[in-house]
Structures are given as C-alpha cells and as structure tokens.
C-alpha cells in the first residue's frame, strides 16, 4: 500500500463543520433528530452536534449501522442493515448524516428505511461527496467537501477498519 496525502487538515475540517452547522440551523427547525450512519459518521457527528449546539440547535442523536464495503475498497453494491435505531421517529424531522456519499446506495437505502417509518421532513448531510461516482440519484442537502475520485480515509472514514482515528482527511496513494 502506498502513502497518504492530506486532502483536508483538522483545522479546515473544524471550520467547515462550524459553517455546516450554521447552514443547518438556518434550514432545519431547532429540534430535530440526527440519524448518523455508523461507523464512518461517528467522528463527524460528534463534532457536528457540538457545533449545532453553539449555533442554537437541540438535536437528538440516533444511529444506524449499514455496510456495503466490508473490508474492500469497492462497494459490493448491496447495503446491509447491521444495527437499527432505537427510537420511534414518526412525524419527526430528521437529518440523515453520513461520512461519505460515493455511489449513493447507502444513503438512499437509509433514507428509504426512514421514510418507511413515517418520519417528518428529511434532510441529508455528508462530510464528503463524490458526485462523479454516483450510481443512484440522491441529493445531499448539506455537503462538507466535494472530492474527486480518490480513496479518502481519516476523520471517521476507513479502509478495512483502519485510519478512522486520523484528525485529517487523507487520500490513500
């Protein structure tokens, strides 16, 4: 395996998370539920909820664990629900948060699961968006950074469960 090139530093990520929180607060009612997709979105959501608090929002937090990559660098194309949310969300506004939207399959699957439960309004948020890799038409309402076709790791994103701990986002060479 090759080296790592920093795409976004910890400082750039922190500034963008604060800006995203401000955008979200201007759009979504102050009380909503964040549904974060594990494991990748965990680091991002931890910082995002604190930024949302500073911006005046009061989100609740739920988690869904989905997988389409396993230990590979390419999506299998099949999304699996590994862990479900515990709360009832009927009629409630939801912000669905993922670390990276690539093919679009995972976030589309999660959105469909949530809509089947009769949620209220649904918005989507991704730290990283790879538009050129889209296989499923899905709109992301709040995007941290758009990136090209690189394999990004760090700040929650991984390769075979490694590199999630990095404070920056890097591209594997």
pLDDT for residue 1: 47
Taking the C-alpha atoms of residue 167 and residue 46, their distance in angstroms, rounded to an integer, is: 13
Tens of pLDDT, residue by residue over 53-87, are 999 999 999 999 887 655 445 555 676 666 667 66
The 3-class secondary structure across 56-120, one letter per residue, is CCCCEEEEEEEECCCCCCCCCCCCEEEECCCCCCCCCCEEEEEEEECCCHHHHHHHHHHHHCCCC
Average pLDDT, the chain: 90
Q: Whole-model pTM? A: 0.89
Which of 27-31, 68-72, 134-138 is predicted least confidently? 68-72
pLDDT-derived band at 160 (thresholds 50, 70, 90) equals confident
pLDDT tens figures, 6-24: 999 999 999 999 999 999 9
- Annotated catalytic residues are 102
* Averaged pLDDT, 102-114: 92
For the chain, list the domains and their CATH numbers.
4-172 (3.40.50.2020)
Q: Are 147 and 133 a contacting pair, CB within 8 Å? A: no
């Amino acid at each position: 395996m090759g080296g790592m090139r920093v795409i976004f530093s910890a400082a750039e990520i922190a500034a963008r998370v604060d800006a995203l929180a401000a955008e979200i607060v201007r759009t979504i009612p102050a009380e909503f539920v964040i549904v974060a997709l594990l494991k990748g979105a965990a680091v991002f959501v931890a910082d995002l909820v604190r930024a949302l608090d500073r911006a005046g929002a009061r989100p609740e937090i739920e988690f869904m664990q989905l997988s389409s990559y396993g230990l590979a660098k390419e999506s299998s194309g099949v999304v699996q629900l590994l862990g479900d949310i515990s709360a009832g969300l009927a009629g409630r506004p939801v912000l669905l948060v993922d670390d990276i939207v690539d093919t679009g399959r995972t976030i589309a699957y999660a959105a469909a699961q949530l809509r089947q439960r009769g949620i209220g309004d649904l918005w989507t948020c991704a730290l990283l968006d790879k538009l050129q890799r889209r296989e499923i038409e899905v709109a992301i309402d709040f995007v941290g950074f758009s990136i090209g076709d690189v394999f990004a790791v760090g700040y929650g994103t991984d390769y075979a469960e490694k590199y999630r701990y990095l404070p920056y986002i890097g591209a594997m060479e």
